[in-house]
Structure 1
Amino acid sequence: MSYAGDLSPQEAWELLVSNAGAILVDVRTTGEWNSIGVPDLTSLNKDVHFIEWVTEFGPNVHFVSQLAQTGVTPGDNRPIIFICRSGNRSIGAATIATEEGYGPAYNVLEGFEGDADVYGRRVINGWKLRGLPATTYGVGE
């Protein structure tokens, strides 16, 4: 594994609660943020950082520079928790962040929406289904 590890949604929440320096980066697309909702960290007085891993034009070539804009710096040892829809894109984000000296970087298993059932519905698990803080309002609304 080329990043710090995988966390369940509950473990990710607990790390955000217990570590003042820990940040959450949602790497889904703008469309997902605006149509499905986003994690909500207002009860922790923290912001969720939104950086698309893949844009409408393909891989986000500005991902690392946008990560730097969150206030984390390479070598500062601040936990960075990456979340996507189901825990796949966030692996790539955690891997690149680690390669660039950020982190420890973690992937959230299950992601925001979780795994799909046999009918393609995301009703099995995930941040939102597990009742962790979320809002149905997307970015910029």
Structure 2
Amino acid sequence: MSTDTGPAVQELLPTQAWSLLENDPNAVLIDVRTKAEWSFVGKPDLSSLDRSIITIEWARYPDMSVNPRFVEELNNILDGSIPSKILFICRSGVRSMSAAKAVQASLAGDTQGPDLFNVAEGFEGDLDAEKHRGGLSGWKAHGLPWRQS
């Protein structure tokens, strides 16, 4: 599965991501949204799986500049353990794909690295007809566990 650019980043729908997390205790979910989004919008809740999500901002509010230490922060949090799979989630699936590709690039040539997945649709999904998120697609709309701080 590995190439010169690292393992391929695959895409999963939120329900597929949940199923993967349920069935693989070594898989981790990384929420790459901003601190404000975690606080005001909520986060996926993996407590029924006896796990927590990992939160690392990919882009920092308010200017949304890319976090240059993202991969380093992830490595520090993992502290040498290598998960079997790493899933990335953001609001709609765009920032999380960028974060997954940054990790992919850091694993270039590593044939033993984890499988990488982007959660398509993200946490809140697409805008509906009223320009609201969270009801049309995404983690929340699929009725997956989440909590608000």
TM surpasses 0.5: yes
Instruction: Please state how far the C-alpha of 1:119 moved relative to its aligned partner.
Output: 2.9
Aligned residues: 136
RMSD over aligned Cα atoms: 1.9
Distance 1:95 1:72 in 2: 20
Q: Does residue 48 of structure 2 align to residue 43 of structure 1? A: yes
1:88 aligned residue: 94
Structure 1 ranges of 4+ moved more than 4 A: none
Q: TM-score, normalised to structure 1's length?
A: 0.89
Please tell me the residue identity of whatever aligns with 1:120.
K
| Preserved CA contact (<8 Å) 1:8 1:109 | yes
Q: Deviations over 1:97-126 (max 9, x none)?
A: 111115311100110001012332112111
**Structure showing greater Rg:** 2
Please tell me the residue identity of whatever aligns with 1:25.
I
Q: What are the ranges of 5 or more consecutive residues in structure 1 without an aligned counterpart?
A: none
Instruction: Please state how far the C-alpha of 1:83 moved relative to its aligned partner.
Output: 0.2
Distance 2:123 2:19 in 1: 16
SS across alignment from 2:144: coil
Instruction: Please state how far the C-alpha of 1:72 moved relative to its aligned partner.
Output: 6.4
| Preserved CA contact (<8 Å) 1:97 1:103 | no
Distance 1:16 1:124 in 2: 23
SS across alignment from 1:127: coil
Counting aligned pairs with the same residue, the percent is 40
Equivalent runs, 1:1-141 vs 2, <5 Å: 3-56=8-61, 58-71=65-78, 73=80, 76=82, 78-101=84-107, 102-122=113-133, 123-137=135-149
Distance 1:72 1:79, change over 3 A: farther
Q: TM-score, normalised to structure 2's length?
A: 0.84
Q: What are the ranges of 5 or more consecutive residues in structure 2 without an aligned counterpart?
A: 108-112
SS across alignment from 2:78: coil
Distance 2:39 2:23 in 1: 28
